[in-house]
Structure 1
Amino acid sequence: MEKVTHHIGDIDVISLENPYWACLIAPALGGQILSLRFKPLNWELLRVPSHQKAWEDEPFLFGIPILIPPGRIAEGQFTWNGTHYHWPQNDTAGPNHLHGFVWNRPWRVVDVSAAHLWLTLGAQGTADLAWYMGSRLNVGVEYALRGPELLIRVTAQNTGSMSVPFGIGFHTTWNLQEQDWEVLVPRGREWAMTTAVMPNGTFLPHLSSLRGLPVGRLATSVVADACYRLDDDVDTAVFMRGAESAFEFIWQPDAQFRQLTIFRPSLNSPFICVEPCTWTHNAPNLSVDQAISGMSGLDSGEEKVFEYRILANAQ
């Protein structure tokens, strides 16, 4: 098995590479992709930290962190299937829980080759999930380069004795410094948000901060901290198109991901986050049909697989 021989500043990373992609992954920092460069154009698609302190200062705003579960939970509390959950209030925007328990935990390398990496959640993260969920979960992630496609596949298995709530998201942070990107999202509805920046259980009659995105809009024109639900009859693919590029990039989670969180704090921000999630912010506390909020669980003995594909496509 190959050793870690690459670095981003003082961050140890594993490199995967083929003729299309150069991908850098940090097992010690949540097992996440930190850099994804499209080699034919030498374009970096993700926002990359210069060193670990930069990542620690903004841990969700580089690369593609894995969130289990994703989003905010009001006051870190909810009741599900008769069990009351109380999670840490780690949200700087308010007394809420934010983004789960694995994004900053070290992952263990199981297997690595030139274009494939398999990680499992390390002992600390597995123990944290068991403590906060009330049941042991085994979680692994595979990264595979297959021609012009990057596949991310997360497998989660509940090996405990009780059913637990389970959601996942990929906090994808696009780099806006190398190209004027047009973003297209699938048709859907924008959640009405509370002052605590969480859905209130209803939808806006028309798109507000996300207006224009289903037909294409420059990413640099977007300022948003918004949640969005895809319509049931649309494909999940999000498109990223350069004005002068012969390629477009397709960011496609599987059909379990019907929610997007879209975040860009200001017109000067050098990034935009387009985050596919299986449940929306505060889904465990919303009084709406679970098919609408995405709220879901993982039964004792059950295993689920979640896939996210990034594809370069000639226009």
Structure 2
Amino acid sequence: MAIEENKQGNGINPITFNGRRAYELNFSPYQAVVIPEFGGNLVAFRHVEKGYRFIREPEDMEDFKQNPCLYGIPVLFPPNRYEDGTFKFQGHVYKFPINEKSKNNHLHGFFYDRPWDVSGQGQTENGCYLELTQKIDEQTEVYRYFPHQFRFILRYTLSSQGLSQNVTINNEGPNAMPLMLGFHTSINAPFARTSKPEDYTLHLSIQDRIELNDRSLPTGQKLPLDEYEKKLANEGASPYFKPLDHHYAAAGNEENRMILTDNNEKVSLVYHTGEQYHFWMLYNKDAKSGFFCPEPQTSMVNSPNIPWPTDETGLIELKAGETWSAESRLYMTKG
């Protein structure tokens, strides 16, 4: 879809996005597009005045259907891989379907391609928002594998300050549930039409690399950052220095974020995830496809199966009646 300034002004419009029903959020100078019926995926975040497309947008909808986690901001609940699709939590054995057959893992959870209910929308003088909900109980398919009653609320708010993502998860059942959440955020680099991949510098708040085995599961070892990774954590480095599918512990403070700088346009995209997300995956496919994925996660890959304390793996116990929430933001800055 071409980037065009919204003729109706700020607000929310139902649209058709490459054949799918969607919602377009507009608040100058930004625009966003969400597809509730397919994963609740926010598939576009744009700076209309500059013509920037920050998020990798699906144009081939068949490829989007086949590879939904490589476009937009897919919801991963739970995130990444689980060994043999099985883990134990408080005496209950969970058995997820094996959807990564080559490695005999369960991959990326249940919500990235499911329809979400639109539970709210609105506009104020400061922004507009769209709220999406998954309600899981005995009547839903997810309950077969994850037998908990809970409500997952995802709210996107667009304002002149950028895009905010608010997550609220309510445990509405009688038992504690494991909470593991991530987002497979796909970022364009270049996001400006006038720039090239070599114009970009990536900074990521990381402190340790978590070693993965040939099944892409943690070995139980942490590794020191190599020279390239030290640059990522400090002054920044190219997001395409080499092919990446690496797992990291986050820096562990409220400044946990990704900064992608376009040195040609002299602007930066900031992805501020805050301290609720303790880990990152960093994926760039083949290091030459024009996008990469800085993926914030609350917990380590395969966290229930890692024999470490939960304060190290990030596994969250959400007790009956409790609520968990987190906020992330995407916005542009100068320089």
Q: TM-score, normalised by structure 2?
A: 0.88
Which string of whole-angstrom CA distances, capped at 9 and with x for unpartnered residues, describes residues 106-141 of structure 1? 111122235211111267998234332221111111
Mean CA deviation greater in 229-238 or 253-262: 229-238
Alignment of 1:149-164 (within 5 A): 149-164=162-177
Match of 2:6 in 1: none
* Aligned CA distance change for structure 1 residues 187 and 4 (closer, same or farther; 3 Å): closer
CA distance in 2, matches of 1:291, 1:175: 33
CA RMSD of aligned residues (A): 2.1
Given candidates 273, 281, 284, the residue that maps to 1:261 is 281
* Aligned CA distance change for structure 1 residues 255 and 18 (closer, same or farther; 3 Å): same
Match of 1:214 in 2: 233
Given candidates 262, 277, 297, the residue that maps to 2:297 is 277
CA distance in 2, matches of 1:235, 1:199: 25
* Aligned CA distance change for structure 1 residues 258 and 17 (closer, same or farther; 3 Å): same
* Aligned CA distance change for structure 1 residues 51 and 206 (closer, same or farther; 3 Å): closer
Match of 1:81 in 2: 90
* Aligned CA distance change for structure 1 residues 165 and 65 (closer, same or farther; 3 Å): same
Given candidates 150, 170, 184, the residue that maps to 2:203 is 184
Mean CA deviation greater in 18-27 or 105-114: 105-114
Which string of whole-angstrom CA distances, capped at 9 and with x for unpartnered residues, describes residues 31-62 of structure 1? 11001111232110111111431211211000
CA distance in 1, matches of 2:208, 2:131: 36
Find the residue that maps to 2:174 and give its secondary structure.
coil
Residue pair 1:173, 1:273 contacting (<8 A) in 2 also: yes
* Aligned CA distance change for structure 1 residues 297 and 274 (closer, same or farther; 3 Å): same
Q: List alignment gaps of at least 5 residues for structure 1.
A: none
Residue pair 1:162, 1:300 contacting (<8 A) in 2 also: yes
- The aligned amino acid for 1:189 is D
Find the residue that maps to 2:240 and give its secondary structure.
helix
CA distance in 2, matches of 1:286, 1:41: 45
Find the residue that maps to 2:167 and give its secondary structure.
strand
Match of 2:80 in 1: 71
Match of 2:141 in 1: 128
1:297 aligns with 2:322: no
Find the residue that maps to 1:245 and give its secondary structure.
coil
Q: CA deviation at 1:254?
A: 2.6
CA distance in 2, matches of 1:44, 1:211: 28
CA distance in 2, matches of 1:4, 1:93: 42
- The aligned amino acid for 1:62 is Y
Which string of whole-angstrom CA distances, capped at 9 and with x for unpartnered residues, describes residues 235-290 of structure 1? 21211110122421210113110100011121322210000000121111011122
1:109 aligns with 2:118: yes
Given candidates 250, 257, 261, the residue that maps to 1:237 is 257
* Aligned CA distance change for structure 1 residues 135 and 150 (closer, same or farther; 3 Å): same
Match of 1:165 in 2: 178
* Aligned CA distance change for structure 1 residues 47 and 101 (closer, same or farther; 3 Å): same
1:148 aligns with 2:168: no
Residue pair 2:137, 2:150 contacting (<8 A) in 1 also: no
Given candidates 171, 191, 216, the residue that maps to 1:197 is 216
Residue pair 2:205, 2:257 contacting (<8 A) in 1 also: yes
Residue pair 2:228, 2:237 contacting (<8 A) in 1 also: no
Mean CA deviation greater in 245-254 or 255-264: 245-254
Residue pair 1:64, 1:171 contacting (<8 A) in 2 also: yes
Residue pair 2:83, 2:302 contacting (<8 A) in 1 also: yes
CA distance in 2, matches of 1:51, 1:8: 11
Residue pair 2:148, 2:173 contacting (<8 A) in 1 also: yes
Residue identity (%): 24
Residue pair 1:105, 1:125 contacting (<8 A) in 2 also: no
